[in-house]
Chain A
Amino acid sequence: MDWNLLITQLMNGLQLGLLLFLLASGLTLIFGIMDFINLSHGSFYMIGAYFCGTVVAKTGSFITGVIVGLIGVFVVGALVEWLIARKLYRKDHLDHVLVTFGLILIFDTLVHLLWGASGMAIPLPDVLNGQLSVGSLVLPTYRLLIIVAGLLVAAILFILVTKTRLGMLIRAGASNRTMVEALGVNIDRLFLVVFALGAAMAGLAGMLIAPITEASIGMGNDIIIVAFVVVIVGGIGSVKGAFYAALIIGLIDTLSRSYLDRLLTLAMPGNYAETAAPALSAMLIYILMAGVLAFRPQGLFPIAGMK
Chain B
Amino acid sequence: MFWLPASVSGRSYALLLAILALAPFILEWANQPFYLDLLSRALILGIAAISLNLILGFGGMISLGHAAYIGIGAYCVGIPSYYDYYNGWLHLALALSVSAIFALITGAISLRTKGVYFIMITMAFSQMGYFTFLSMEEYGADDGLVIYSRSEFPEWMSMDSDVSLYYWIFAVLLLSLFCTHRLVQARFGRVIVGSRFNEQRMQALGFNTYRYRLTCYVISAMMCSVAGMLFGNFAGFISPDIMGWARSGELIFMVIIGGVATFFGPLVGTIVFVLLEEILSTITVYWHLIFGVMLVALVLFGKGGIHGWLSSWDRKDEDHG
A interface residues, Cβ below 8 angstroms from B:
31, 37, 84, 87-88, 91, 93-95, 97-99, 101-106, 108-110, 112-113, 225, 228-229, 232, 236, 271-272, 274-280, 282-283, 286-287, 289-290, 293-294, 297
Chain B residues whose C-beta falls within 8 Å of the C-beta of A91 in the assembled complex: 299
When the two chains form their complex, are residues B137 and A283 in contact, meaning their CB atoms are under 8 A apart? no
When the two chains form their complex, are residues A88 and B120 in contact, meaning their CB atoms are under 8 A apart? no
* CB closest chain-A residue, reference B137: A275
User: A277 to B131, alpha carbons, bound, how many Å?
Assistant: 10
Q: Assess whether B296 is interfacial by the CB under 8 Å rule.
A: yes
When the two chains form their complex, are residues B292 and A279 in contact, meaning their CB atoms are under 8 A apart? no
Chain B residues whose C-beta falls within 8 Å of the C-beta of A229 in the assembled complex: 120, 124
Check A106/B121 contact, CB under 8 A, given A97-B249, A283-B131. no
Chain A residues whose C-beta falls within 8 Å of the C-beta of B124 in the assembled complex: 229, 286-287, 289-290, 293
**Residues of B91-125 contacting chain A, CB below 8 A:** 109, 112-113, 115-117, 119-121, 123-125
When the two chains form their complex, are residues A286 and B128 in contact, meaning their CB atoms are under 8 A apart? yes
* CB closest chain-A residue, reference B119: A93
User: A208 to B288, alpha carbons, bound, how many Å?
Assistant: 27
- The contact of B296 among A102, A279, A280, A290, by CB within 8 Å, is A102
Check A94/B300 contact, CB under 8 A, given A104-B292, A297-B113. no
- Dominant SS among interface residues on chain A: helix
| Additional A-B contact list (12), CB under 8 Å, known A91-B299, A275-B135, A293-B113 | A87-B300, A99-B296, A102-B293, A103-B292, A105-B288, A106-B289, A106-B296, A229-B124, A286-B123, A289-B124, A290-B124, A297-B112
Q: Could you tell me the distance in whole angstroms from the C-beta of B1 to the nearest C-beta in chain A?
A: 21
**Residues of B206-258 contacting chain A, CB below 8 A:** 245, 249, 252-253, 256
Chain B residues whose C-beta falls within 8 Å of the C-beta of A228 in the assembled complex: 120
- Dominant SS among interface residues on chain B: helix
Q: Assess whether B34 is interfacial by the CB under 8 Å rule.
A: no
When the two chains form their complex, are residues A109 and B292 in contact, meaning their CB atoms are under 8 A apart? yes
When the two chains form their complex, are residues B62 and A93 in contact, meaning their CB atoms are under 8 A apart? yes
When the two chains form their complex, are residues A99 and B300 in contact, meaning their CB atoms are under 8 A apart? yes
18 contacts between A and B (CB under 8 A): A37-B119, A84-B300, A93-B62, A94-B260, A97-B64, A98-B295, A101-B249, A101-B295, A102-B291, A105-B289, A105-B292, A276-B135, A280-B135, A282-B131, A283-B128, A283-B132, A283-B135, A286-B131
Q: Could you tell me the distance in whole angstroms from the C-beta of A3 to the nearest C-beta in chain B?
A: 30
Q: Could you tell me the distance in whole angstroms from the C-beta of A284 to the nearest C-beta in chain B?
A: 9
When the two chains form their complex, are residues A109 and B289 in contact, meaning their CB atoms are under 8 A apart? yes
When the two chains form their complex, are residues B288 and A290 in contact, meaning their CB atoms are under 8 A apart? no
Check A101/B135 contact, CB under 8 A, given A87-B300, A287-B128. no
When the two chains form their complex, are residues A84 and B120 in contact, meaning their CB atoms are under 8 A apart? no
Q: Assess whether B127 is interfacial by the CB under 8 Å rule.
A: yes
Q: Could you tell me the distance in whole angstroms from the C-beta of B107 to the nearest C-beta in chain A?
A: 12
Q: Could you tell me the distance in whole angstroms from the C-beta of A282 to the nearest C-beta in chain B?
A: 5
Q: Could you tell me the distance in whole angstroms from the C-beta of B302 to the nearest C-beta in chain A?
A: 10
Chain A residues whose C-beta falls within 8 Å of the C-beta of B128 in the assembled complex: 283, 286-287, 290
When the two chains form their complex, are residues B121 and A289 in contact, meaning their CB atoms are under 8 A apart? yes
When the two chains form their complex, are residues A294 and B131 in contact, meaning their CB atoms are under 8 A apart? no
Chain A residues whose C-beta falls within 8 Å of the C-beta of B299 in the assembled complex: 88, 91, 95, 98-99, 102
When the two chains form their complex, are residues A109 and B135 in contact, meaning their CB atoms are under 8 A apart? no
When the two chains form their complex, are residues A103 and B120 in contact, meaning their CB atoms are under 8 A apart? no
User: A298 to B113, alpha carbons, bound, how many Å?
Assistant: 10
* CB closest chain-A residue, reference B115: A93
When the two chains form their complex, are residues A275 and B249 in contact, meaning their CB atoms are under 8 A apart? no
User: A255 to B52, alpha carbons, bound, how many Å?
Assistant: 37
Q: Assess whether B286 is interfacial by the CB under 8 Å rule.
A: yes
When the two chains form their complex, are residues B121 and A290 in contact, meaning their CB atoms are under 8 A apart? yes
Q: Assess whether B134 is interfacial by the CB under 8 Å rule.
A: yes
Chain B residues whose C-beta falls within 8 Å of the C-beta of A286 in the assembled complex: 123-125, 127-128, 131
When the two chains form their complex, are residues A225 and B245 in contact, meaning their CB atoms are under 8 A apart? yes
